[in-house]
Amino acid sequence: MKVQELIDTARILVAGDKGLLAMDESNPTCNKRFAKLDIPQTVEVRRAYRELIITTPGLDESVSGVILYDETIRQQKKDGIPFLKVITEAGIIPGIKVDTGAKDLAGHPREKITEGLDGLRDRLAEYSQMGARFAKWRAVITIGEGIPSRGCLEANAHALARYAALCQESDLVPIVEPEVLMDGDHTLEQCAHVTEAALHTVFCQLYRQRVLLEGMILKPNMVLPGLTCPKQAAVDEVADATVRCLLRAVPAAVPGIAFLSGGQSGELASTRLNAMNARFKSRLPWALAFSFARAIQQPALEIWQGEETHVLAAQQALYHRARCNRAARRGEYNLDMEKV
C-alpha cells in the first residue's frame, strides 16, 4: 500500500474547484436511460456515448476524475485510441466502479445489500495495473416504514469498509458511497437522521477495517426531503441540514466529500452545492465537491439522442453543466449562468 500516493490522489481529486464525473452506469442502467429516449441499446452505442463524454473539449477545467464501468474502461475511440489514454492525456484521473450491484438483503424486506466482494482483490489488481487510480462502491439505503434497519446499515457499512481496505491495498483511492435514496415521502428531518446514522455506521466500520481516512473520498447524498414529501425544503435549509449532518459524522481527516446527485435536476444540484460552499466553505475541514452522473450528463444525453450530428451540441451541454458545478464549488454559481 503506497500511503503517500493514496493521500496525494485523494487530494488531487477534490483540489481547487474541480469534481468528479460519474459515467459508470452499469449496462442495464445505461440501457434504461437510452430506452427512455429511444436510443438503441447496444455495445457500440454505449461506446459512442462514452466517447462523446470523454472527448468533450475543456472537460478537464472542471473535472478531476471520471468514474468508468468495466465495459467502458476496456473500450477505444472510433479511431482505436484507448479511452484510458484519452482520459489521462486530458489530465483527468480514471476511476472504476467495482461493486456488482445492490441485491435484496435476506430477511430484510425492501432493503438492499451491495455485492461484489468475492474476487474483488484480483479485479482491483487488474484495474490498478490498467491505470485506474481510484474506485467506487455504492450502497443503497431506503427510508420507509420501519426501515432502514440496523441490520441493513451494518451489513452495507461492513461491505463498504471491506471494499475500501482492499482498494487501498491495491493503491486505489476508495470512493465510499452510502446513498440514502430520495424515493418516498419522508421529511428532511428523517433524511438527516438516517443519513447521520448511516455515516456513523460507515466510519465506525472504516475504522475497524483500518482504512486510511486521508486516502479516501466520501460520496454521500445531500440531506433532502423525499420526492413525494408534501413539504419540500428551501435551498438554505438543505445546505444547513446537510452540512450539520456531515460535521457530526465525517472525521476531519477525510480530504473531500463529493456528493451524488441522486435524481435532482442539474440546476438544483448546482444550486444546493453552491449554497453549502457559499455559506460554510471557510469553516469546513474537508472540501465539498461533486461526483454527479445525471446532474451533469442528462441534458447532454437528451440532446445527443444517439445522433452523430448532435455530438457537438451535446458536448457543449456537458461542458456547461460541469462548469456550473465548478462555479458551485467556489460559491459563485447563480441561475444567470443557465441563460447563456
Give the active site residue among 219, 307, 338, 339. 219
Euclidean distance between CA atoms 63 and 85, whole angstroms: 16
Contact between 141 and ligand 13P by CB under 6 A: the answer reads no
Contact between 138 and ligand 13P by CB under 6 A: the answer reads yes
Q: Is 145 a catalytic residue?
A: no
Q: Which residue has the cell 445492490?
A: 102
Cis peptide before 148 (omega within 30 of 0): yes
From residue 88 to residue 127, the character string flagging contacts with ligand 13P as x (rule: CB under 6 A) and all else as - is: ----------------------------------------
Euclidean distance between CA atoms 239 and 147, whole angstroms: 25
From residue 52 to residue 91, the character string flagging contacts with ligand 13P as x (rule: CB under 6 A) and all else as - is: ----------------------------------------
Among 262, 266, 299, 331, binds ligand 13P (CB under 6 A): 262
Closer residue to ligand 13P in complex, CB, 22/68: 22
From residue 157 to residue 196, the character string flagging contacts with ligand 13P as x (rule: CB under 6 A) and all else as - is: --------------------x-------------------
* Contacting range for ligand 13P; rule: CB under 6 A; set: 84-92, 240-248, 257-265, 321-329: 257-265
* Cβ atoms of 160 and 102 closer than 8 Å: no
Three-state DSSP at 168 gives helix
Secondary structure string (H, E, C) spanning 76-130: ECCCCCEHHHHHHHCCCEEEEECCCCEEECCCCCCCEEECCCCCHHHHHHHHHHH
* Cβ atoms of 52 and 300 closer than 8 Å: yes
Closer residue to ligand 13P in complex, CB, 21/153: 21
Q: Is 51 a catalytic residue?
A: no
Residues 211/217/222/228 CA torsion (nearest 10 deg): -70
CA 311 to chain centre: 24
Contact between 261 and ligand 13P by CB under 6 A: the answer reads yes
**Which residue numbers are catalytic?**
177, 219
Binding site for ligand 13P (CB under 6 A): 22, 138, 177, 260-262, 292-295
